[in-house]
Amino acid sequence: MDKDVVFLVAGKPPMRGRASFEKGLREVLREHRIESTHKVQEIMVSGELAYCLTQLEVSMVPISDGAGSVRSGHTLSILRKLPSGSWVMTRDANLLPSPA
């Protein structure tokens, strides 16, 4: 994950930066366990950029009592190749709708 990564999430302003992502994830993990499955549907690489289209399902399971939630849908991730040869996520559009 690039330090300047941008996450686009349905119904929310863009989340900018790896630190922002980490903070949000830590908050969620205080009260939930996350279970997910994915199926990569398409990958395209062109030079130092690549994208990946994925079908994703995420379950938020409460650690204590309470109802969990499931979201499913598509994500589109854009990756950039670093001079070291490693790939990092630079943009991610996570279009999983909120549970009804």
pLDDT digits (tens, 9 = 90+) for 66-89: 788 888 989 999 999 999 999 999
pTM greater than 0.75 (yes/no): yes
Angle among Cα 5, 11, 3 to the nearest 5 degrees reads 10
Q: Cα–Cα distance between 67 and 81 in angstroms, integer?
A: 40
Give residue 99's pLDDT: 63
